[in-house]
């Protein structure tokens, strides 16, 4: 494993895994994965389909708990706290570590209620407070101007790109610390993709972002760190600039040069 690049990465580590192993039934989906995710940075997870990058992403907010027949070994830390310990409250964990999915999945309700969904779970009921959260979140996701006239219309009437930005706004509404994004632009058109990418780079100020992507250019464009997975193993993890210019592992080199995957 190349590039344990010194103190800077250690000190600002937001999430960390140690000897993380995930099994789906008999299938060994993740093998001894050790990762440090820097705070206020964009970390891209790349690798061919089925390499375990989405599985890894889902262990970070325990979405794998929902899958039957899954076994998880090892530790995942959020600010030094083991999120798989019995003391961890999953609701609170998912408030701190939000998620945006590959397919935009707004709920079948109004735009307003979509955004207010998270805050309501966490006990925010006041109309004025919710109004404020809805506007702030929609502005952050750069969709406020497009929907401000129709906050009480069904979210299902939006375009694909708008839906995804709505889902991002929904995730931001609970003010998470970490935002997990599972191929958030793979279902979007090029213009919408650029909008979402622009958002991600802006979000670094406030959030730590982990994104799974199939798109090598996207990883190179928007991420600070890149992690390369292959067949459940972490092959290489480094700053994006270094990983793309001087990959240490020949498998990484082969992949980013487009020779497989």
Partner 1 sequence: MMRKWKDDVLLCLIYLAAFFTEFLLIGILGYVFVKGFPQVSLSFLTNVTSVLQGTAGIAGNFVNTLYMVVMTLAVAVPFGIGAAIYLNEYARPGRVVRLIEFTTETLAGIPSILFGLFGMVFFGTTLGLGYSILTGALTLALMVLPLITKNTQEALKAVPEAYRSGAFGMGAGKWYMIRTILLPAAMPGIVTGILLSVGRILGESAALLFTAGSGYFLPRSFGGWFRKLSESGGTLTVQLYLSMSKAQYSVAFGIAAVLLCMVLGINFLVRMLAKKWDAV
Of the listed pieces 73-81, 103-111, 194-202, 239-247, which binds partner 1 according to CB under 8 A? Answer: 103-111
Options 118, 184, 232, 247; binder of partner 1; rule CB under 8 A: 118
CB of 161 to partner 1, least distance (A): 17
CA distance 88 to 237: 28
CB environment 106-125: b (16+ within 10 A), e (fewer)? beeebbbbbbbebbeeeeee
Site for partner 1 in 55-74 (CB under 8 A): 61, 63, 66, 68
Query: At what angle are helices 111-121 and 160-172 packed, to 10 degrees?
Result: 30
CB of 164 to partner 1, least distance (A): 12
Site for partner 1 in 71-90 (CB under 8 A): 90
Beta carbon nearer to partner 1, 100 or 219: 100
Q: What angle do CA 53, 225, 49 make, to 5 degrees?
A: 20
CA distance 91 to 122: 8
CB of 15 to partner 1, least distance (A): 16
Options 21, 39, 75, 154; binder of partner 1; rule CB under 8 A: 154
Question: Judged by CB under 8 A, does residue 95 bind partner 1?
Answer: yes
Which residues, including other chains, have CB under 8 Å from residue 62's CB and lie 6 or more apart? 83, 84, 90, 93, 94
Which residues, including other chains, have CB under 8 Å from residue 245's CB and lie 6 or more apart? none
Number of H helices, E strands in the chain: 11, 10
Interface characters, 222-241, with partner 1 (x: CB under 8 A): --------------------
Instruction: Please report, as ranges, the residues that interact with partner 1 according to CB under 8 A.
Output: 61, 63, 66, 68, 90-95, 98-99, 101, 103, 105-109, 117-118, 121-122, 154, 156, 167, 170-171, 174
């Amino acid at each position: 494993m190349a590039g344990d690049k010194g103190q800077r990465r250690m000190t600002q580590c937001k999430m960390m895994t140690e000897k993380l192993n995930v099994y789906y039934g008999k299938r060994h989906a993740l093998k001894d994965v050790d990762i440090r995710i820097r705070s206020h940075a964009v970390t891209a997870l790349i690798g061919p389909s089925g390499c375990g990058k989405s599985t890894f992403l889902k262990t970070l907010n325990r979405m794998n708990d929902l899958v039957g027949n899954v076994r998880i070994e090892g530790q995942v830390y959020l600010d030094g706290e083991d999120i798989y310990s019995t003391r961890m409250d999953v609701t609170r964990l998912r408030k701190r570590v939000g998620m945006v999915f590959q397919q935009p999945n707004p709920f079948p309700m109004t735009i307003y209620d979509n955004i207010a969904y998270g805050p309501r779970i966490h006990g925010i009921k006041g109309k004025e407070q919710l109004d404020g959260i809805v506007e702030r979140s929609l502005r952050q996701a750069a969709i406020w101007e497009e929907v401000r006239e129709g906050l009480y219309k069904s979210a299902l009437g939006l375009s694909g790109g708008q839906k995804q930005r709505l889902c991002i706004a929904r995730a931001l509404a609970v003010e998470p610390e970490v935002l997990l994004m599972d191929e958030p632009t793979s279902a979007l058109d090029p213009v919408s993709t650029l909008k979402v990418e622009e958002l991600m780079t802006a979000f670094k100020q406030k959030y730590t972002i982990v994104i799974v992507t199939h798109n090598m250019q996207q990883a190179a464009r928007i991420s600070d760190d890149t992690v390369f997975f292959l067949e459940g193993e972490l092959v290489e993890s480094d700053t994006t600039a270094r990983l793309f210019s001087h990959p240490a592992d020949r498998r990484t080199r082969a992949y980013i040069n487009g020779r497989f995957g």
